[in-house]
Amino acid sequence: MIEGRITKQISNQYRVTANGEDYVCGARGKFRNLGLSPLVGDIVKVNDNTLTIEEILPRKNELDRPVVSNVDIALIVTSVKKPDLSLSLLDKELSVVLANDIKPVICLTKLDLLNKKEINELKPLIKYYKKIGILLTDNKHLGKLKKILKNNLVVLTGQTGAGKSSLLNKLDKKLNLETKPISVVLNRGVHTTRHTEIYKIGKIYFVDTPGFSALDLKNIDSEKLKETFLEFSKYNCDFKDCNHLKEKRCKVIDAVSKGEILPSRYINYTRFIKECHENNRKLYK
């Protein structure tokens, strides 16, 4: 028996990568009966005589778009200019990623387009996100980035034009992905059906669909959302299940007014929680 990861699906066959070798395998019929289908990303046990997948190890997470399991890191590619930095988008990506038990890593791009004043305005924000425990780096310090991502399964997220493809090209010179200035009209809406594939750049495993849409708070309830605002957890409000909205003597609201919590973080929290409630209401109708 060998243990490896499914790195590609080819109709009802799977490419399993184990110890650097690829095996094309079938799957036991019992999975179908159990309503369980092997997914790209799964860690599986394979019978090396018959090349059949015998066991799927428990998944730590499972994404819909792209369809992939056991994602370790979401690399949130965030440009600081062209397109301009959007803290609401960044906070939403962070929340969705954290709610899916994926570790977020922010990679800032286009820092070269900022002047001194703009850099200085950015510094306290960077410091804040680092302080609350989010890993943050940029597309200049590739050594640091590679070290963070090493041996992990990574999905990329970030808005169009943020520099995802450019970053991958820098990490692997052979890759040569198409990059385009944002002024170019993009062929959105043209979908070519294809299966998710995991490929390797150095010691990093990437999911090939750049643009995991982390923009959906669907399926996240307000309790979970609250947890994704990591910096709130250290405040013990008078009400044990305080939502930090209109409750009296809320220590989070207190911390916002004292400048301990970034105002944009709190504002985004209140917006997202509203979105969660609206989604939940739709669900129960």
Ligand X SMILES: Nc1nc2c(ncn2[C@@H]2O[C@H](COP(=O)(O)OP(=O)(O)OP(=O)(O)O)[C@@H](O)[C@H]2O)c(=O)[nH]1
Give the nearer residue to ligand X in terms of CB position, either 114 or 125.
Answer: 114
CB-based contacts of 39, cutoff 8 Å, min separation 6 = 6, 9, 59, 62, 67, 68, 69
**From CA 55, how far away is CA 211, in angstroms rounded?**
30
**Which CB, 162 or 250, lies closer to ligand X?**
162
Binding ligand X by CB under 6 A: which of 97, 100, 158, 253? 158
Structure tokens at 141: 């310090």
CA distance 1 to 48: 6
DSSP structure class, residue 123: H
Query: Hey, which residues between 125 and 144 contact ligand X (CB under 6 A)?
Result: 139
The option from Mg ion, ligand X, Zn ion, none interacting with 244 (CB < 5 to 8 A, set by class) reads Zn ion
Q: Of 152-211, which residues contact Mg ion (CB under 5 A)?
A: 164-165, 210
Using CB under 6 A as the binding rule, the residues of this chain from 198 to 217 that contact ligand X are 210-211
CA distances from 158 to 31, 69, 212 (A): 35, 20, 8
Helix (H) / strand (E) element for 122: namely helix 116-131
Q: Which residues have CB under 8 Å from 86's CB, separation 6+? A: 159
Q: Could you tell me where the beta strands, DSSP code E, fall in the chain?
A: 2-10, 13-18, 21-27, 43-47, 52-56, 62-63, 68-69, 73-79, 103-109, 135-138, 153-157, 198-201, 204-207
Which phi and psi (to 5°) does residue 107 adopt? Answer: -120, 110
Least spacing, CB of residue 95 vs Zn ion, in Å: 17
The contact mask relative to ligand X for 58-97 (x = CB under 6 A, - = no) is ----------------------------------------
Residue 137 CB, shortest distance to ligand X, in Å, is 13
Task: Output Rg (C-alpha) for the chain, integer angstroms.
Answer: 21
Q: Is the CB of 55 or the CB of 254 nearer to Zn ion?
A: 254
* Number of other residues whose CB lies within 10 A of the CB of residue 120: 10
Query: CA 97, CA 90: separation in Å to the nearest integer?
Result: 11
Q: Residue 166 binds what, of ligand X, Zn ion, Mg ion, none (CB under 5 to 8 Å, by partner type)?
A: ligand X
**Closer of 35 and 189 to ligand X (Cβ):** 189
Give the interface with Zn ion as residue ranges (CB under 5 A): 237, 242, 244, 250, 252
21 vs 178, beta carbon nearer Mg ion:
178
Q: Is 160 in the site for ligand X (CB under 6 A)?
A: yes
Q: How far is the CB of 73 from ligand X (least distance, A)?
A: 17
Residue whose Cβ sits closest to Mg ion: 165
Does 107 interact with ligand X (rule: CB under 6 A)?
no
Nearer to ligand X, 144 or 180 (CB): 180
Contact residues: Mg ion, CB under 5 A: 164-165, 210
Contact residues: ligand X, CB under 6 A: 109-110, 112-113, 139, 158, 160-166, 179-182, 186, 210-211
